[in-house]
Amino acid sequence: MTTTTDIVAKLWGLCNVLRDDGVTYNEYVTELTFLLFLKMLEETGRESRLPEGLRWCILAKREGMEQLDYYKAMLLELGKAKDGLVSAIFTDAQTRLRKPTNLKALTSNIDQLDWFSAREEGLGNLYEGLLEKNASDKKSGAGQYFTPRPLIDCIVRLMKPQPGEVVQDPAAGTAGFLVAADHHIKNQTDDLYTLPEAQAFFQRHNAFVGGELVPDAHRLCLMNMLLHGIEGGVENIDTLSPDGETIPKANLVLTNPPFGTKKGGGRPTRTDFSITADTSNKQLAFVEHIVRALKPEGRAAVVLPDNVLFEDNTGRRLRTWLMDLCNLHTILRLPTGIFYAQGVKTNVLFFQRGKTDKGNTKAVWVYDMRANMPAFGKTRPLTVADFADFEKVFGDDPNGNAKRQDLGEESRWRCFTRQQITDRNDNLDITWLRDTEAEAEEHLTEPEDIAAAIIGHLKAALEEIEALSDELEPDSVDEAAAVAEAAE
């Protein structure tokens, strides 16, 4: 067990203490974020970013109610700090702790950790390990903010982010994609040391941008980025509102946008949306944002649920528009059970923005990683090795221009021309292998995996119902109401 893994296990073990104080799992990680931020600034010699008198050593030395009162006042003051990143992390920050003994338990245990070894292995790795632990725990409900790291790493390897490029995630969550892209670039540049100073500054301050709607997820996002040497760049905004138009355009978009519909049936309020302005389907609206966010010849890899591939009306118009403006060169059909908090069937769409607005997609290559695959979950976690065959056939060109070969109907890798897709009414939900998903699910043994599979099927059904309801024209609704009234 590495030092980082050991520390993560110890920190996570403290949550059992806090449950007696009414602190939920997700609140616990937010609470830890506040405390770890203060401790890590001390460990890295960067406490000058904090206002005078607000230091970890002062907090840690106090006892009883005096410590809890000081901590509460400290959070309020940090939310007003002049340092933009500090104030962003602590904006509206409140502690859920009520018992002084629990705060003392946290500060004492954090002080006793092996911080020297943690610094050697990387404080960012420690924090990301904590986020992964939180996301993998079903009770925390945090999986909605966490894309499995093997999937992220596969996508980043294929998309090859480069120094000097702007990388965007419009639904950043805890910044998994952005941190992985940063890591990829640092591996190419000896941790940025081979870059000119101006370009290294750009990488730290301007290369990674995006938005995150949920305030607590935004805090985790900023903390994760900071500990990996990235200063800000992700705003606490609704990307589907006019605020989303202010996110800088990108050379590369990597994202796993939220699934489902906007609460209350709300529509995007973006002034630049023309395709999805009248739908409450969030993932369709995010696709329009991504296409509009790409610079000419910019590229994207986006995790999307199945309904984006087959939904009619707005969905079909969006797919046609996407294939006109972009070269949609590859679709990866992902297996079920790979997401911690949901069993919804998903795909990764890989595309490049064209120089023109017509006819950019000539053919779409599809890799089926879902049919005849084991049921992934707690007993069979997703690994980097699971993507090896897909990465091989994808090739080394991030825009799908590597030499490719259709391996036939018995294989997982097929090519479909634009005309063939047109003949399918631009339906991209393409399958050809016999799907033994149900047989794989029969071998699940962990209650959590079985429950996730059931929830996944229910969510998929609800998605289809919501999509149908959303796409009903007002005339159809009025007609249905009239029929129902006549039947009475």
Residues of the chain with pLDDT under 70: 1-3, 17, 20, 25-26, 120-121, 135-145, 260-266, 339-343, 435-488
Task: Clarify whether residues 176 and 218 are in a common domain.
Answer: yes
Q: What is the pLDDT of residue 294?
A: 98
- 134-151 pLDDT, tens digit per residue, is 766 655 444 455 788 899
Tens digits of per-residue pLDDT, 176-202? 999 999 999 999 999 999 999 999 999
Distance (Å, whole) CA 116 – CA 119 = 5
Q: Are residues 234 and 104 in the same domain?
A: no
Which structure tokens are listed for 24?
């939920």
Domain closes at, from 400, 433, 466: 433
- Quote the domain boundaries for residue 119: 3-133
Residues 125, 159 within the same domain: no
The rounded distance, in Å, linking the Cα atoms of 15 and 26 is: 10
Asked if residues 336 and 303 have their Cβ atoms less than 8 Å apart, the reply is: no
Give the total number of structural domains in the chain.
2
Q: Is residue 308 part of a domain?
A: yes
Residue 330 sits in the same domain as residue 203: yes
Element counts in the chain: helices (H) and strands (E): 21, 9
Mean pLDDT of the chain: 85
Q: Is residue 408 part of a domain?
A: yes
3-state helix, strand, coil in the chain (%, to 5): 50, 10, 35
Among 411, 314, 315, 420, CA closest to 364: 420
Same domain (yes/no): 429, 409:
yes
Q: Which of 133, 161, 182 is the last residue of a domain?
A: 133
Query: Do 368 and 433 meet the contact criterion of CB atoms below 8 Å apart?
Result: yes
Question: Is residue 215 domain-shared with residue 118, that is, in the same domain?
Answer: no
The CATH number that applies at residue 409 is 3.40.50.150
Q: For residue 458, what pLDDT is reported? A: 67
Question: Is the distance from CB of 168 to CB of 209 less than 8 angstroms?
Answer: yes
As a whole number of angstroms, the distance between CA 285 and CA 344 comes to 18
* Side-chain half-sphere CA neighbours of 393 within 13 A: 20
Q: How many other C-beta atoms are found inside a 10 Å radius of the C-beta of residue 444?
A: 21
Q: Is residue 367 part of a domain?
A: yes
> Do 258 and 203 belong together in one domain?
yes
Q: Which of 416, 433, 450 is the last residue of a domain?
A: 433
Is 488 inside a domain boundary? Answer: no
pLDDT of 261: 63
Output DSSP code: residue 86: H
Hey, is 479 helix, strand or coil? helix
Strands 294-305 and 234-235: unpaired
What pTM does this model have?
A: 0.84
